[in-house]
Amino acid sequence: MIKFHPTNEQLSQFADGLLGATEALMVSAHCDMCERCMAKVELYTDASAEIALPQSQDDDSVDFGSMMHNIMQEEPEEGIQLTPKSQIIELDGRTFEIPRTLTRYTKSMGNWSRLVGKLWQAPVDIGGETVANFIYMEKGGSVPEHTHRGSEMTLVINGEFSDGIADYDSGDFMIMDCNNQHTPSTNADEGCLVFSIVDKPLHFTSGWARLINPFSHLFFK
């Protein structure tokens, strides 16, 4: 069950085309997996279209702020069926279905490489100065404790993980920054696949991983 979503402000800005490219990419991929947020974006789009239409002089009393608030309180209709196209990626005999939004980047996806322990990483060239990766944690795998010099946007594609802050499941979307310190790990039998975008190197905060910090910029394209 999806518990972590973009904010209503992010969804509204996404509907209006006002988000930056990388944030819009992540929000779009989340909406591919989340009927609730997809429906909200559609409501925002419809509301923006209504506001953009010329109003008669008799409509001066319309409170568009209240209208937008009321729309966002609406719950998506039951029975909505979304059937976005998807694509399969593979890793060591495992197959994963990725959101439609991300399929355009499979041609710019690099080879999988094993990191420390039970971690795998495949870089994805999405353009710009940010670094994007598919990251897979096998059961019992973890990322060393770290915080962030910049921001890190993560979407759970398949499986579940915990990080000492919360428990995340397929479809969950989160943004971390310098105010967050966490240790992602998974004990799920199927492991966990995420798509992550960072704009600056991570800063490791415990154990041997701290030795990497002086050289972390070398791994940041």
pLDDT digits (tens, 9 = 90+) for 82-113: 444 458 999 988 999 999 999 999 999 999 99
Q: What does the alpha-carbon distance between residue 2 and residue 110 come to, in Å, rounded to a whole number? A: 28
pLDDT band per the 50, 70, 90 thresholds, residue 213: very low
Whole-angstrom CA distances from 73 to 6, 9, 76, 85 are: 15, 13, 10, 29
Closest CA to 107 of 95, 115, 116, 98: 98
At 203 the pLDDT is 76
SS3 state at 113: strand
Does an H or E element contain 29, and which?
helix 21-33
3-state secondary structure 166-214: CEECCCCEEEECCCCCECCECCCCCCEEEEEEECCCEEECCHHHHHHHH
Q: Is pLDDT at 193 greater than 60 in this prediction?
A: yes
At 85 the pLDDT is 46
Does an H or E element contain 77, and which?
none
User: What is the rounded radius of gyration, in angstroms, for the C-alpha atoms of the chain?
Assistant: 20
Closest CA to 197 of 163, 158, 148, 162: 148
Contact 99, 173 (CB under 8 A): no
DSSP state of 143: P
Q: What does the alpha-carbon distance between residue 168 and residue 156 come to, in Å, rounded to a whole number? A: 7
At 24 the pLDDT is 96
pLDDT of 107-165, one tens digit each?
Answer: 999 999 998 789 999 999 999 889 999 999 999 998 888 888 889 999 999 999 999 99
At 220 the pLDDT is 44
Q: Is pLDDT at 78 greater than 70 in this prediction?
A: no
pTM, to two decimals: 0.80
Contact 156, 169 (CB under 8 A): yes
At 16 the pLDDT is 93
CA angle 212, 218, 220 (to 5 degrees): 100
Contact 30, 173 (CB under 8 A): yes
SS3 state at 161: strand
Q: What average pLDDT score do residues 53-72 get?
A: 49
Q: What average pLDDT score do residues 58-78 get?
A: 49
pLDDT of 27-57, one tens digit each?
Answer: 999 999 999 999 999 999 888 776 665 554 4
At 129 the pLDDT is 85
At 65 the pLDDT is 52
